[in-house]
Copies of this chain bind each other. A is one copy, B any other.
Amino acid sequence: MDPVKRLTDLGLKLPNPPSPVANYVTYVKTNNLIFLSGCGPANYMNKNEQRGKIGKDINTREGYKIAKLVGLNLIARLKESIEDLNNLKEIVKLLVMINSTDDFTEHSKVANGCSDLLVEVFGQKGKHARSAIGLNSLPNNIPVEIEMIVKI
């Protein structure tokens, strides 16, 4: 399965990989692993981007779509780091961090927005370990931030 063809089949286009918003780099390759920095749903310059807490400002279904946007950004950064997405050996692990109300419980459904995308695009190689958690605040009030470890 060619991930670039899969993206096309799914009608998806990779965005420009979002730049870091502070003094860090978007990924570090170490041995045969790549550690990707926590990433939000969109280019931070996009003023129409949704902000706020899932469970109040944004519902679970919208949260799923936002986690998928984060996934696209992570794939864009991954492509920047390895050039050819076919060089991916496997997605190792996600930490899915959800800006949420104190009584939110549907983290798994939101996180699946990113997980489903990775499995659709990379197939068996896209199956990953994961933690999904609720945060009381995230940078710039983004609704979802995800960090990822992959093997090349």
Would you call A128 and B24 a contact (CB within 8 A)?
yes
Number of copies: 3
Would you call A131 and B97 a contact (CB within 8 A)?
yes
Query: Smallest distance from the beta carbon of A8 to chain B beta carbons, Å?
Result: 22
Which residues in B have their C-beta under 8 angstroms from that of A137? 55, 98, 100-105, 107, 133-134
Which residues in B have their C-beta under 8 angstroms from that of A27? 129
Cα of A140 to Cα of B60 in the assembled complex, Å: 13
Which residues in B have their C-beta under 8 angstroms from that of A30? 33, 90, 92, 151
Would you call B102 and A136 a contact (CB within 8 A)?
yes
Q: Is A139 an interface residue (CB 8 A)?
A: yes
Would you call A147 and B128 a contact (CB within 8 A)?
no
A-B contact pairs, 8 of them (CB 8 A): A24-B130, A25-B128, A28-B91, A28-B128, A31-B151, A37-B93, A38-B130, A133-B145
Instruction: List residues of A whose CB falls within 8 A of some B CB.
Output: 21-28, 30-33, 35-38, 53, 55, 90-95, 97-98, 100-109, 111-112, 115-116, 119, 127-141, 145, 147, 149, 151
